[in-house]
Structure formats: structure tokens, C-alpha cells
Structure 1
């Protein structure tokens, strides 16, 4: 297995075995001579958009404040102690999307997004912990990181940001452009800008089991079929008319226990759930509609690729794209799996694809889910 500079010369197998979900890893020059993909002015412009999730954290005069975007204006770049956080930059910028794809040695079902944090001198969001794994890539300037395996997760009360009350770091390190720090979930950390800086955070999805359970129950409501109606032919007179009888509870419980689900149901739910775009995501359909023959003519010359915002997964015969699911015929599965894994198809793949796949690609193109290479 190939060793990756991105992982400090470790193979992906070594990283997953020794560090993933276990302990931090500091990687000097994970991406040598890395340059920021966006200027601070471009980030400010993104923070002004209503289709981009952004936050502003300030620590002026020892007072923490949190505001949510969009922002018509950010504080002056010359002013210390403020941070703007731009979520999901990979959804809006090709370079950020390409950078996030470098982390696809981990499953797409776990990979979430790329967030950019811009901070002026001394800026940060305070000592905290995240519920997910994260890679912190320094893109511009320097940032001091203080980290520790905190067990006391008590938060300071009354603040708009979640700050650890009794933070006790065990390590300190300064990251420069190209350096990267991996942190497992719930590992306490505090990043402080040393001068102006930008940090790129590649984060991962860790939905709570409560969230998954609620989602699965909602999914089941669309597929559950329980025949018949409640009946009690042996009903007896009662002297307590307001009481719910034991027989009624038993009959209803017996009916509800007929609800069954298999691993396939879980797989379909997860595929739809994990490929569903976030509520803030909207797709850009082509300005002009393209006929199927014209689309195929272009696709057979240029190939296609998934749009930045598209999430595509598969499991066995089931294919999931942007929350939709369907069963792929054996003749179609090879092309669809390749599209999901490589996030694109070459002209030769288009020519060899079945008519069903070619028609699906055209429909997805019209919806803005795929684009021509």
C-alpha cells in the first residue's frame, strides 16, 4: 500500500490502525508549499452569500460573541481577535472540492465538508472539542494549537460559544502553511492565530444514533403496511370508561410487533440519508435545456463528472444520489459504480453505457447533478 505525504509517510492502513479515532497526528508539510485557495477578500464575499453557511466569532474586550451570516460587512482585517468560519467551501469552489477529494481514502459516507477559518491576530473560537474526526490544514500564516485528551468536558455557562471551563492542554505546536494536524473526536483543542491566518478543516460526519433512529423511523413510515383495523369482538362491560384497557394495549402491541426490517432496509435508509444534500444546498440547472441526442454527443466527446454538490453512494444493487435511490440492473451497475467512485465517466464509459444509464445521465445533467467534463 502506497505511503502518502498527506499522512506524513504513513500508509492509509497504518494511519487507520494507529491514529484514526485514537490519537492526534501532527504532519509537517503534509502538502508542501501549500498556498491558500481563496484570498481573505474572496472569503468575505462568500460570507455575504445567503447560500453559504458562515459564522463570526469575536473576542473583543474578553467578551465572546457569535453571529451567523450572511454578513454585509466583517470587522476590519486590521482589528485583532475575530474569526470567520465558512462552512462547505467545497460545494462552491473547484479548488476546495479537489482538495477534499484527497481525503477519499476514507468513505464518502463519512466525509462531510471543508470549512475555512480566517482569523486575525489572536483570533480563535476558544478551547473546545468536536464530536467528529478532523484534519486541520494550515493554509496561510501561523496558528498555535494547544491540545489535550480532556476528560472534564464541562462548559463555561452563559456563553454563545461552547468553551471548555477547565481546559488543560498537554501539547503545544505552531502550524505553518502545509502543516496538518489530525484530531480524533472529543480531543480538546484551542487554536490561536499568530498574526493573520487561515486554517482549512476537513471534517467527517458522525450522526448521533438518536438522529439515525429518528430518521429510520421516519423512513419506515413510508414502507410499513399493517393490514386490518382494531377490533374487540369479546369486549366486556366496564365500570371505568376512561381507562385504557389491558386487552386494547395487548392487541395494538401485537399488531405493531409485526413491523419487521432487515439489513437491506437499513442500507437503503443510510444510502438515502447520507446522500441527501444539506438543506442549504441548491443545484444549478443548465441555463438552456439540452436534448438527449445533443447531450450524448457532447458527453461522448468530453465525458461527465458529478457536480460539486452531488453526493453519490452505492450498496450492492442499490444506487443513491442526492437522496434518491433505485435498484441498478447488472448491465448498468458497472458504469454507475464507476461514476460514484471516480466522480466522473470518460467518453468511452458513456459510449459503453446502457441506454438506461445514458438517459439517467441526461436527466441528472438537466437537474444540475452532473456536468460535462
Structure 2
């Protein structure tokens, strides 16, 4: 278990979404949760998103995996990055747990990279919050202020920004953590063979949210109000759009957004859906509720699949959203909903205080059979 050396309240007040922070010794006696060889093994898998970034003879290049070998690359100037390693390596998932003071719906994944000396991805700007932990090796990091910078394609799959003046310029060693909010330019290059672990948090913009909301309406064939103008008056200017018409159109769109049930249904579905594949194995044959109860009674915990996204809304006590789907309990029980969404492990002791243990057990059995929780 990793213990974060950080005053969380002070960090949230003074740094979160405001300015970058270098946390020297953020993790004491840090041990890599995964080795370079294990990371290379994940990068060989078709279902796992990976990327290779190189810079040879001053030319940047990037390509997507899977990758079979790195022998042809030499000993310097390349980096391999693997997304959502927490979905496939429980040890990497544990590295995200100390950051659970940030709302779970904001969490994205843990990306792991291995870099040879001088390897990196170049100067760039991210649109999400990230905590970068230094594993083995050392890496030189520079972070600039959040100012308008020109961005350009250094390669078809690699977006860079123009040079910037650093406000953080430091060499990171194992256990050091660098927090970077959205919009701050940064670049890091390995001094020696290095592992880096990036715990990222989504920061969606209005464009993405509106697009997703519209897709939800269309995909689910949901009825909305249609524009009407029964009070129309004759007009001389045929091509004119009048202010009251524009206002009515805006109100029409706002009505859909103001539908609380519809809005929650969309957001819960959207935000709980995994961006990357999960290591999910449905049960064959299915467990019965009695078998699940017996295993829990015997002390076997039900463990949530690493990376599974589960969220609930304050005030809701019957339903939650898991992996892009709404799930409902037979009766209201806020403690049961919290158990599914706020914890990674469910034990028999957790169920003792539930109002409807039988109803919860039925739902948990369905989730286990789907492969979302498992005994191990």
C-alpha cells in the first residue's frame, strides 16, 4: 500500500487546478509496482493501448502498438507508453488509491512509461490533471506557466508546443511526484533508464459534454420538445432571425439540459463507461446467490475488477451506474449503493448493516457473473 506524504487540504486549496507542484519524497521508499519487462509484455497485447515515441537524428516519430521487440531501437532516445495499466495489473491499480481524495468520476487511468536515456515525448500541453510519480531511474522535468503557446504536429501522432520558460526545473528521483494541472506546458527526459507512473484525471470541456449529451438523446431515441411558433406574425424581411426566436431556440435546448432525470441518466452512463478495455471475465457457469453468500460467509471477499468505474449521485439510494449502465436495487439502501461505488472490496461484515441484504446479494451476484467483481 502506498502512503502519500502530502497535506491534502493545503494542496487542494493552493495547488489543485491552480499551479503545478513538485512533491519531493511524495512516496517514501517507493517500489515500482511493475517492471520494464512486465510493461513491455503489456505493450505486446492487442487490446491494450500503447505508443512508442522516438527521437533519432533530431526527428521525432510516434507509432501505436502492439510491439513485439525493441532490440532495433538501441539504448537511447525512445519511450514506450502503456495506457490504463491499472486495468491489467492490480499492483499498478494500488498506486491510484492514495489519490482517492479526488472524486472518482474525475479519475481516468494510470499510464506507465519506460524511457531510455534522453527518451521522452517532447514539450506538450495536456488537457487533464496528472500526478507523475518517478519510479526507477532519474528524469529531468521542466514545467512552464499556463500561457498561450503555439502547438504543432511534430509527427502525425505527436503534438508539441513551442519552447517555454520553466517555473519548475528539477531532477526527479524514485518516489518524487510532479502534479501538473491542465494547460501547463511540460517536458521530461530520462537521465537513466526510467519508469514513470502517471495518475490522470479527466477534465472534460463543454464541447465534449454537449456532444456526448446529444449522442445520448439520439442513441436512445429520446423524445424532446420540438420548436413551435404559433404566435408567428407577418414580417417583411424573409431572411431575418429575430431575438425572440433565438431565445426560444435556446430555451428549447435548455429544457433538455434541465430535465434532472435525463441529465443524470446521461452523465452517469457516460462518465462510468471505461475508455479502455477492462480485464473482465464473465463467470461460466454463473454463480447462484446462495453460492455467493456461502463464499462471503467463508471469508472470501468480492473484489472489484481494477479500473471498473462505478458512480452514484448524492441523494440517490436505489440506483448507480457501473461501466456505462444503470443498475437498480430492489429497495432503497444508500449504504448498499455506497458499498458498490465507494469501495474496492466487499466482505460479509460490510453487508451486516444493509437494510436489504437479500436484494443486495441478488444484485452483487449479477455483477459477479458479469465479471465486474470476483473472488480471489
TM-score tier, shorter chain, comes to: 0.7 to 0.9
The equivalences for 1:236-251 within 5 A come to none
Equivalent residue number for residue 211 of structure 2: 214
Partner of 1:340: 341
Q: CA deviation at 1:263?
A: 3.4
Is the alpha carbon distance of 1:73 and 1:228 closer, same or farther for their aligned partners in structure 2, counting shifts above 3 Å? closer
2:43–2:67: 8 Å Cα contact kept in structure 1?
yes
Residues 1:193 and 2:190 are matched in the alignment: yes
Change (3 A) 1:5 1:18: farther
Is the CA contact 1:332–1:354 (under 8 Å) kept in the aligned structure 2?
A: no
Distance 1:280 1:345, change over 3 A: closer
- Please, what is the CA RMSD of the aligned residues? 3.1
Instruction: Show structure 1 runs of 5+ residues with no match.
Output: 233-242
Counterpart secondary structure, 1:257: helix
**Could you say if the C-alpha distance between residues 93 and 57 of structure 1 is closer, same or farther in structure 2, counting changes exceeding 3 Å?**
same
User: Which residue in the other structure is 2:373 paired with?
Assistant: 370
The answer for the alignment partner of 1:236 in structure 2 is none
Unaligned runs of 5+ in 2: 231-237
The offset of 1:86, in angstroms, is: 0.7
Is 1:35 the counterpart of 2:36? The answer is no
Write out the 4+ residue segments of structure 1 that deviate beyond 6 Å after TM superposition: 227-230
Find the partner of 2:357 among 351, 354, 357: 354
Secondary structure at the counterpart of residue 102 of structure 2: coil
Q: State the Cα distance separating 1:280 from its structure 2 match.
A: 3.2
**Whole-Å Cα distance in 2 between the matches of residues 331 and 166 of structure 1?**
56
2:142 aligned partner? 146
Q: 1:158 to 1:98 in 2, by over 3 A?
A: closer
In the alignment, which residue of structure 2 is the partner of 1:304?
Answer: 302
Could you say which structure has the larger radius of gyration? 1
Map 1:26-105 → 2, pairs under 5 A: 26-75=22-71, 78-105=74-101
Which whole-Å deviations, capped at 9, do the CAs of 1:312-335 have from their partners, x for residues lacking one? 110122411111114546543312
Q: TM-score, normalised by structure 1?
A: 0.86
Q: Aligned to 2:312, what secondary structure does the other structure show?
A: strand
Asked if residue 109 in structure 1 is aligned to residue 105 in structure 2, the reply is: yes
- The CA deviation string for residues 51-88 of structure 1, in whole angstroms up to 9 with x for no partner, is 11100000011110000011122245752000000110
Range moving further from structure 2, 155-164 or 117-126: 155-164
- Matches for 1:120-269 after TM superposition, within 5 Å: 120-157=116-153, 159-160=155-156, 161-221=158-218, 222=220, 224-225=222-223, 257=252, 260=256, 261-269=258-266
**Closer/same/farther in 2, CA of residues 296 and 229 from structure 1, 3 Å limit:** same
TM-score (ref. length: structure 2) = 0.85
Contact 1:34–1:177 (CA<8 Å) still a contact in 2?
A: yes
Aligned with 2:135: secondary structure?
Answer: strand
